[in-house]
Amino acid sequence: MRITVFRKAHFNAAHRLHNPNWSDKKNKEVFGLCNNTHYHGHNYEMEVSVTGEVDPETGYLIDLKILKDVIKEQIENRFDHKNLNIETEEFKSLNPTAENICYVIWQILSKHLDTRYDIGVRLYETPRNYVEYPPIR
């Protein structure tokens, strides 16, 4: 039986959206308040999905303790209470938009979970704005 399990998690982080190839004026026009020189924060909420075949011996798809620990060690410890632009390797030269953060999280989790699983990540930047990778269609 194929099935999907989910785990929710969250982290708080600061960021600034900025394209160094553009003028300050263009950055302000495109990114608005998110271009604030002094950064701003979000309470990021994520939903991680794991899809695959249930192990008939345990009845589990994945031990949720393992999923919880991987998310904690690889995502929360890396990004929680950090300035994403300044303090993380991942966003030193990659604009930390919700799209890019979601994709980076997906890449990290995919690397640290068994390849027999299909991983999905939904990232909420605000309660109303969220992104998902892989894309729906």
Binding site for Ni ion (CB under 5 A): 34
CB atoms within 10 A of CB 76: 15
For this structure, is 125 an active site residue?
yes
54 alpha-carbon distance from chain centroid: 25
The question of whether 102 is a catalytic residue gets the answer: no
Shortest CB 42 distance to Ni ion, Å: 5
As a whole number of angstroms, the distance between CA 10 and CA 106 comes to 14
CA angle 68, 72, 76 (to 5 degrees): 140
**How near is the Cβ of 39 to Ni ion at its closest, in Å?**
9
Q: Nearest distance from residue 132's CB to Ni ion, in Å?
A: 18
| Catalytic member of 10, 53, 73, 81 | 81
Q: Nearer to Ni ion by C-beta: 35 or 113?
A: 35
SS3 at position 49: strand
Comparing CB distances to Ni ion, the nearer of 34 and 108 is 34
Catalytic residues, by residue number, are: 34, 81, 125
